[in-house]
Structure 1
C-alpha cells in the first residue's frame, strides 16, 4: 500500500481551500462576546469571539475597521459578519471580520429606517431653507462641555471672530437629550436673534446618537423659522436630524466652516472685485474714447462743428445788436424822465415858495379864502425855509372892508 505523505504547509493549504470554497463560511453572521481585544498600530483589530461553550480567534483588518463608528471593548456582545478560514502559519482557523454591530443595533437600524421613510413621505425633508451667506449672529445648540463646541469655537475664531455667537446648552445623549434639544430650538426661535443654528455633537455609536433620531426633534427642526445645519457625529454617521435639517455637515468643525465666512476670503474677493471693476472701467473708458475720437474725425461731425461755430458767431452779432438797442432804449427813457422831472419841479409848491410865495394852513387844511378862518384862529404860514405860527386878529376883503 502506497503512503501519501504531505507537508504541514500542504495540509494547511488544502484545509484553507476547503474552507474558502464553502459558500456558507464565506459570509456568515456570528453572535458572540468580545474578549482579548487588541488594537494594533497597523489599524488591524485582534480579539476572540466566544460564547458559553466555545471560542474562535478573530481579526478585523484596517480597511474594515475604519468603517466602525464606535469603539470595541472586552465584554461587548456583538453580531459579526465574517469569513471563516485558516491562518496557515499556525494551522488555527479564525474569523475574518467584515462588519460588526452591537447586539440590539439591528432593531435600532430598522426603527431608524422606518422613521426616515415615514418622515420623508410626510415631506419633512423637503423645503430646505437657505443658509445666510454672511450671518450677523450664529446660534450653537450642543452640550456646554462637548468637544464639538470647542471645535466650532476654534473654527469660528480662525475664520471670522467678529460674528457674535449665542450658545444654547442642551444634553446630547441620554433620556433628557431629545427634550432639551427641542426646547433650545424653540428658545432660539423665540429670541429671534441668530440668523442660523448649528446643531452639533461628536461621534459615537448608534446608541450614543439615538437622541438625534427622534420624530419630535425632526418636527421641531422642520418648524424652525431659523435655518439649521447639522454637525452630528463623524462623516459616516447619519441620523434623522441630518435629513430634517436645512443642510448637513459631516462633523461639527465642517458645519462651522460652512456657517462662518472666512474674513480673508472676503477681503480677497473684495480686492478681486475692485481690480475687476477698475479694469472694466478702464476698458469702457478706452472704448468710449476711441468711439468719440472716431466720431470727431468723421467729415459729418466736422461739418456739424463748423455749422455750430457759424451759429455761435451769429449769436455774438445778435448779442451786440441787443446791447446797442437796449442801451439806446435806456438812454431815451432817461431823457424822458429828466424832462418830466423838470416839469414836476416847476409845478412843485416848494418851487413856488422859493420864488417868495407862501401858503396858509389851519389844522392841516389850506386856507384859500377869508371864510376858512375866524378872528382868534391859530394859523401856520409856510414859507421856503420854515413855518410861521400866527393868530388871526383881523380880516379885510379886497375892497378894504373890515370883516366883522
Structure 2
C-alpha cells in the first residue's frame, strides 16, 4: 500500500467524487445557515436538515442568474454537483441553481413521472429521430409575445434564414398544457421539417406544463422531430427527455436547428478549391501519360497495327458472309424436304385422284350413310370446288 501526501489524498478523493455520476447535477433540499456573501460576489453557506449539514459554494456567475436573494434560515432546493475543496480537505456542493422550497412536492412528482415514463421507453435513445440537416421550414410552439420567439428569430436570421411557422401557444397557467398539445398537433399537419417547443426561464411552477405527462406523450408521438427548449441551462423538464433533442435555451434550440451559413459558404469554397486542384492534377497526369504513350508508339508502328487490324476485320467479314450463305442454303434444302413430305400426306392429293369429302350444312364431315337423313342437303368438296346435293335414296351395299 502506497503512502499519500495530504494533497495527493485530497486530489484522489476529489477525483472519486467528481467521477461519480450519481453525485453530479443533483438537487438537495435543506435550510440555509452560515451564509456569507463575499464582496467577490460568491456565496458561502451550508444547508442543513434536522441532523446533518453540507457546505455549499455558489459562484458569482450563478448568483447573477438567481431570481431571489438567499437568506439565512430560508428553506431551499439547491441544484449542483459534489466537489472537494482540496485546500481544506472538505467536500462541498458546488451550486448551479437555488430555488425556494415551495416546489418540493412538485419535484417529487417530477421524479416519479420521469421514472415511470423512462420505464415505458419514452426516453429511449433508439426512439430519437435525427434532425434534418438543412430544414426549409421550422414550426415553433411558444408564446407569440415572449422573449423566446424573439431569441429564436434573431438566431435564425443570423445563422440560416428559413421559413418560420409560429403557432401561438399558452406556456404558463392552467390551460397551458392543453395549448402546447394543440400546437404540436397543428404543426404536425403542416409541412414543417422540425418543431421547436419551449419558453423562457421561470420557476418550477412556471415550467410545470412541460412536465405534464400528456405533453410528454404528445412530443413523443409527434410525426415531426421536436427540439425541447424550456427555461435556462439548469432547467430540466419531462419534455426535455421525451423530445428528440434537448436545447438548454430557446436561442440554443435555434442554433441546433440550422447550420451556420458562414460555415456552409466556407465549406463550399473549400470543396471548390479541392475540386479545382484535383482536376488540375488529373489533367497534368493525363498529359504526362499521353506524352509517355506518344514516345513509345511511333506513327509507322501505329499505321502498321491499324493495317493489320483492318486486314483481320476484312477476313472475319468474309468468313461471316460465307458461313451465313452456307447456313441459308442448308435451311432452304431442309425446308424443301419437309414440304415434300407434307404434300405427300395432304388430303388435296387424294381429292385430285377423283375422291370427294361429304359435309353437312353445319360443316361436320359425313363418314357414312348413317350420318344423313332422307331428303337432307349436303355439300361435296372436290379438288377444284364444292357443290350442294340432296339425298334421295340409299343404294344397295356394294353399288
Q: Take 1:273 and 1:42, find their aligned partners in 2: how far apart are those partners?
A: 50
Distance in 2 separating the partners of 1:236 and 1:125: 19
Q: 2:262 aligns to what?
A: 264
Using the TM superposition, give the Cα deviation of residue 275 of structure 1 relative to its aligned residue in structure 2, in angstroms: 1.3
Structure 1 partner of 2:147: 147
Aligned to 1:171: 170
Q: How does 1:1-400 map to 2 (within 5 A)?
A: 30-31=30-31, 42-44=40-42, 61-63=57-59, 66=62, 70-72=66-68, 78-79=75-76, 100-126=98-124, 127-161=127-161, 163-190=162-189, 192-299=190-297, 303-308=301-306
CA distance in structure 2 between the aligned counterparts of 1:308 and 1:138, rounded to whole angstroms: 66
Please state whether the residue corresponding to 1:168 is helix, strand or coil: strand
SS at match of 1:140: strand
Retained in 2: the 8 A contact 1:69–1:205?
A: no
The Cα of 1:42 is off from its aligned counterpart by: 3.5
What TM-score do you get using the length of structure 2 for normalisation? 0.56
User: Structure 1: how far apart are the matches of 2:176 and 2:38?
Assistant: 35
Task: Work out the CA distance in 1 between the residues paired with 2:120 and 2:285.
Answer: 58
Q: What is residue 340 of structure 2 aligned with on the other side? A: none
C-alpha deviation, 1:277, in angstroms? 1.2
For the residues of structure 2 that align with 1:134 and 1:97, how far apart are their CA atoms? Answer: 42
Which whole-Å deviations, capped at 9, do the CAs of 1:294-318 have from their partners, x for residues lacking one? 23322599733543378899x9xxx
Instruction: Tell me, yes or no, if the aligned pair for 2:41 and 2:63 is still in contact at 8 Å.
Output: no
CA contact (8 A) 1:233 1:251 kept: yes
- Structure 1 residue 107: deviation in Å? 2.5
Alpha-carbon separation, structure 2, partners of 1:290 and 1:311: 27
Native 8 Å contact 1:229 1:246 kept in 2: yes
Check conservation: 1:43, 1:61, Cα contact below 8 A: no
**8 A Cα contact 2:159 2:259, kept in partner:** yes
Aligned counterparts of 2:134 and 2:202: Cα–Cα separation in 1: 32
Query: What is the total number of aligned residue pairs between the two structures?
Result: 261
> What is the CA-CA distance between 1:265 and the residue it aligns to?
2.1
> How far did residue 121 of structure 1 move?
1.8
CA contact (8 A) 2:44 2:58 kept: no
Cα deviation, residue 291, structure 1: 2.4
Structure 1 residue 215: Cα displacement? 1.0
Q: Which runs of 5+ in 2 are unaligned?
A: 1-27, 48-54, 79-91, 314-399
Distance 1:73 1:31 in 2: 14
Aligned-residue RMSD, C-alpha: 3.9
| CA distance in structure 2 between the aligned counterparts of 1:151 and 1:265, rounded to whole angstroms | 21
Partner of 1:278: helix, strand, or coil? helix
**Pair 140,303 (structure 1): closer, same or farther in 2 beyond 3 Å:** same
Residue aligned with 2:123, SS: coil
* Distance in 2, Cα, partners of 1:186 & 1:180: 10
Q: CA deviation at 1:189?
A: 0.8
Instruction: Give the Cα–Cα distance (whole angstroms) in 2 for the partners of residues 299 and 213 of structure 1.
Output: 81
In structure 2, what is the Cα distance between the partners aligned to 1:29 and 1:241?
23
- Separation in 2, partners of 1:301, 1:295: 11
The answer for the alignment partner of 2:6 in structure 1 is: none
> Per the alignment, do residues 228 and 80 of structure 1 end up closer, same or farther by CA in structure 2, a change over 3 Å counting?
closer
Q: CA deviation at 1:155?
A: 0.7
Residue 70 of structure 1: CA displacement? Answer: 4.8
Instruction: Supply the distance in 2 between the matched residues of 1:80 and 1:157 (Cα, whole angstroms).
Output: 38
Unaligned runs of 5+ in 1: 1-27, 50-58, 82-95, 316-404
Give the whole-Å Cα distance in 2 for the aligned partners of 1:281 and 1:65. 53
Report if the CA contact (8 A) 1:64-1:98 is conserved: no
Query: Greater CA radius of gyration, 1 or 2?
Result: 1
Give the Cα separation in 1 of the matches to 2:179 and 2:188. 14
Structure 2 vs 1, CA of residues 175 and 69 (structure 1 numbering), >3 Å: closer, same or farther? farther
TM-score (norm 1): 0.55
Secondary structure at the counterpart of residue 209 of structure 1 = helix
CA contact (8 A) 2:229 2:250 kept: yes
1 CA distance for matches of 2:138 and 2:41?
38
Tell whether the 8 Å contact from 1:70 to 1:204 is kept in structure 2 after alignment. Answer: no
- Deviation for aligned residue 1:97: 9.2
**Any idea what SS the aligned residue of 1:165 has?**
strand
Give the C-alpha shift of residue 44 in structure 1.
Answer: 3.6
